[in-house]
Amino acid sequence: MRQRGFTLIELMSALLILSLLAVMSFRGLGAVLDARDQVRQETEKWRSVAAFFARFKRDVQLSAPRPIRAASERLN
Q: Virtual CA dihedral for 7, 8, 10, 11, nearest 10 degrees?
A: 120
Assess if residue 12 is contained within a domain: no
Assess if residue 8 is contained within a domain: no
Specify the number of domains making up the chain: 1
Assess if residue 46 is contained within a domain: yes
Please tell me which residue, 2 or 59, carries the higher pLDDT value: 59
Assess if residue 28 is contained within a domain: no
Q: What is the pLDDT of residue 69?
A: 72
The reported pTM is: 0.55
Q: What is the pLDDT of residue 29?
A: 95
Assess if residue 27 is contained within a domain: no
Secondary structure of residue 63 in the 3-state scheme: coil
Domain extent at residue 37: 33-60
Assess if residue 41 is contained within a domain: yes
Q: Could you count the other beta carbons within 10 Å of the beta carbon of residue 69? A: 9
DSSP, res 1: -
Q: What is the pLDDT of residue 3?
A: 79
14-70 per-position pLDDT tens digit: 999 999 999 999 999 999 999 999 999 999 999 999 999 999 999 988 887 777 776
Assess if residue 13 is contained within a domain: no
First to last CA, the chain: 122
As a whole number of angstroms, the distance between CA 52 and CA 47 comes to 9
Assess if residue 39 is contained within a domain: yes
